[in-house]
Structure formats: structure tokens, C-alpha cells
Amino acid sequence: MARKAKRDLTIEQKLARGPIDLPFLALVMLLTGVGLITLLSASFPSAMYNLSPNVTDTGGDPLYYFIRQARFAALGVVAMFIISRIDYQQFRWMSVFVLGASIVLMLLVLTPLGRSGGGVTRWIKLGPIRFQPSEIAKVGIILYFAAGLSKRNSQLGPPLEKKWNRRTLLGRTCERLDRIGFLELLPYGAALVAVLGVIALQKHMSAMVLVVMGAGAVLFAAGIRLGWFAAGGALVGAALWFIITQTDYMKARIDIWHDPSVDPLGNGYQPLQGRIAIGSGGLLGVGLGNSRQKYMFLPEEHNDYIFSIWCEEMGLVGAVVLMALFALLIIRGFWLALHARDRFGTLLIVGIMSLFAFQVFFNIGVVTGFLPPTGISLPFFSYGGTALMITLGEMGIVLSVSRQIAAPKAE
């Protein structure tokens, strides 16, 4: 019976059961393991001294953050393998529901279900789970864009002159807009504006930047005209300039970025302590577990600034090795995108790996002082169980696409 059932599988089912990409999987598991070890080293002082009881009451347990992160990592790895077994074509119809659910959840942040942290309200608590819905929105926008743009060649329809009535003003206007690609981009622009609008209500600039970057990567890979990127870049640049110059909060961040010493005991304290940690590591570091800055000197040492602790303990050599591991994972991901069976698989991986690459770049850039503070965490390393699970889920999508790489390409 088992053999007969195996023979009765459809071609799609047989493809979905192909082998996953082992180099990519090995890099994901390696980074997950190293991230957990680093989190244990970075977090046990603040957990032991219970430095933030109003936010997280650790009860003085030095393993508090590590145990919780390890549980989410285990769940995330299981979820990654389950997702990798799903035929990634199923993500086409799921995309609308994931995007819609993320918008609804982000709106719930503005209700009594919303939770605050660090002076901002970006989390939602459903039962024992506390998470940022914007993390789901990042994935949702990539799924939605990839699902739609993967069909763009077949959706262009008949020649322009047969689509619009050129005798009317409306018809001629629509023809011009269609010729420059505006009408094709309209539904994607509407979805992006809706997501960005809800995130803006949370005053979450870093999430807005990542959503735009992920969407832009999918659009670029789909072959959208470069003129639209120039126009979009100008629009985003103007919006950022307005926000930076018209809000005291962003002005203060830019001033601190230029010179943290102007407020060494206030807003500049964290950047300064982070750089002291990096400099203290020297070439080979002070040794795993031996960081001094994590002992109540560096705030968020187990979160946004965990890379500083890694540099202090592992030195310049360790920092280069870690960045090389991230680079290898990203490069391998794009290699899988180039060899994906169809355009949908390619766009999925490009969006996910671009989002991942931007997160790594922005976090390390902020910690080293190359970029202004953004509040973006370091994937696989920063504390945050649901964020780790979502990252592993994204890796599961990439692995799902990799199962069908050996098959002939299809459009």
C-alpha cells in the first residue's frame, strides 16, 4: 500500500519532497546555535540582577533569557522543517491572508491589547505570547509582492490600443498610465502604503525602512523599470528628510549619531558604551563569557547591542568570522534564488534574503557608529523569541523553494 501511495503522488507533491539545501541549512543551524551561546553570555548579568523588573521580571534567574530563547529556537527549528515540507506554491494564496492578518494585528497594537517597551507601543499580547506584528508584516508584504509579480508577464494582456478606448479622455489617460507601468504597480503601491501607514502610527521608523527595502528588492528582481526606483527613492528620501527635520526625537538621534559625547550620560550613553565594548575586544577578544561591559555598563547588551558584546569577547577576528557566516548564508540564499524552479520561488528568496541582509547591515552599522540608531535587532542573536521564530520560518520558506531546484524551470 505504501508503494502504491508513493506512486500516486502528483508531480508537485514529489517535487515538494525533494532534498533540502544542506549548506543553507547548516549555516542556519550554526548561526542559531552560536546566537544562543552569545545570548547566554551577554544576558546572564542583567537577568541575575533583574535590571528591568517593570519590563521583564527575571526573578534573579541568570538563565532566564537563555531558557526562553532556547525554547523559541526549538519551536522555530520545528516550524522551519514543517514549512520546508510545504510546496511553496501554496504560499501564493496564503499571501493575501498573511498580509491582511498582519495589518489587523498591527491595528490591535493601538488598542488596550497593545504593550509598551522602551517608551514606545509596538507589541501585542495574545495570551502568553508577546510579539511585534510588524515582524509578520515584513514577511506578508514579500509574499504578496512575490505572488503577484511572478505572474506579471501573463497579466500584461493584449496590446494597449485594444485595452482602452482612445476616444475618451479617461481611456487615453489610462493608456498612458498603463504604458509607463503605473497601473500595474497600483495594487502593490496601495498595499505598501496601507502597511506603512499602520506602522507609522506606531512610530516604528526601522520597521518602515525594512518593509520598503524588502518590497523594493522584490520589485527590482521582478524587472520593474528603474525609473520607478528613482521616483520611489526620491519620495522616500523626501519623507525621511521631513521626518528627521520636523521631529525632535529624530533630530536628537541624528545629533547623537554625529557625536555621542554631547550627551554622554543620556542618549549618547549606549552608543559610547557599545564602542568601548568593541574597542576593548582588541584582536582576539577577552574570551567568551568574560565581557566587562555587560555588567550594567552597556544597556540592551542582550538585544540590539549584542554584537558589541560579541566583539568584546571574540575580538576583531571573531567579528570578521561572524560577518563571514552571515555573508555566506546570504550568498547561498541568492544562489538558491538564481536556481529556483520558477519566478515565484526566485522572488520569494530574493525578498526574504534581502530583508535578512538589510537587518544584519543596519544592526552592525548602528552598533559600530556607521549608521544612526534604528532599533533593529541582529537576526539569530538578539533576544526576542517570536522574532527568532519568524526568522526561522523565513528560512523554512527558502528551504521549501530549495527542494524543487533540481526540477526543470517553469515560468
pLDDT (tens digit, 9 = 90+) per residue, 144-174? 999 999 886 544 444 444 466 666 666 666 6
Q: What is the mean pLDDT of residues 57-79?
A: 91
Instruction: Read off the pLDDT of residues 279-324 as tens digits, 9 standing for 90 and up.
Output: 999 999 999 999 999 988 888 889 889 999 999 999 999 999 999 9
Within its chain, how far is the Cα of 166 from the centroid?
44
Is there a contact between 321 and 184 (Cβ–Cβ < 8 Å)? no
383-394: pLDDT as tens digits = 988 899 999 999
DSSP state of 89: G
pLDDT score for 203: 77
Number of domains in the chain: 1
First-to-last CA distance in the chain? 35
Residue 89 lies in a domain: yes
Find, among 389, 315, 322, the residue nearest to 129 by Cα. Answer: 389
Residue 31 within a domain: yes
CA angle 263, 267, 268 (to 5 degrees): 55
Tell me if 12 is assigned to some domain.
no
| pLDDT at residue 2 tops 90 | no
Mean of per-residue pLDDT scores for the chain = 84
Residue 270 lies in a domain: yes
Average pLDDT estimate for 33-61: 84
In a domain, residue 176? The reply is no
Q: How far is CA 230 from CA 236, 312, 387, in A?
A: 10, 40, 32
232-239 mean pLDDT: 76
**Which residue in 16, 100, 135, 39 sits closest to 396, CA to CA?**
16
C-alpha distances out from residue 284 to 42, 180, 254, 316, Å: 17, 55, 32, 6
Question: Residue 120: beta bridge partners?
Answer: 117
CA atoms of 60 and 83, how far apart (whole Å): 37
- 213 domain-assigned: yes
Cβ contact 383:338 at 8 Å: no
Which residue did the predictor score with more confidence, 12 or 411? 12
Residue with cell string 515584513: 138
Determine the structural domain holding residue 127 and report its residue range.
18-150+181-402
pLDDT at residue 242, as a whole number: 76
Indicate the pairing of strand 129-131 with strand 120-126: antiparallel
Q: Which grid cell sits at 287?
A: 574570551
Question: What is the predicted pLDDT for the residue at 1?
Answer: 45
Predicted local distance difference test score (pLDDT) of residue 154: 45
Please report whether residue 305 resides in a domain: yes
Q: Name which residue leads in pLDDT, 184 or 381.
A: 381
Region 113-139 average pLDDT: 78
pLDDT digits (tens, 9 = 90+) for 212-224: 999 999 999 988 8
Distance of CA 359 to the CA centre of its chain: 6
Reported confidence tier of residue 118, pLDDT bands at 50, 70, 90: low
Q: What is the dihedral of CA 160, 163, 169, 170, to 10 degrees?
A: -120
Cα→Cα distances 262→245, 247, 299, 380, Å: 19, 19, 18, 33
Q: Does some domain include residue 1?
A: no
CA distance 146 to 348: 6
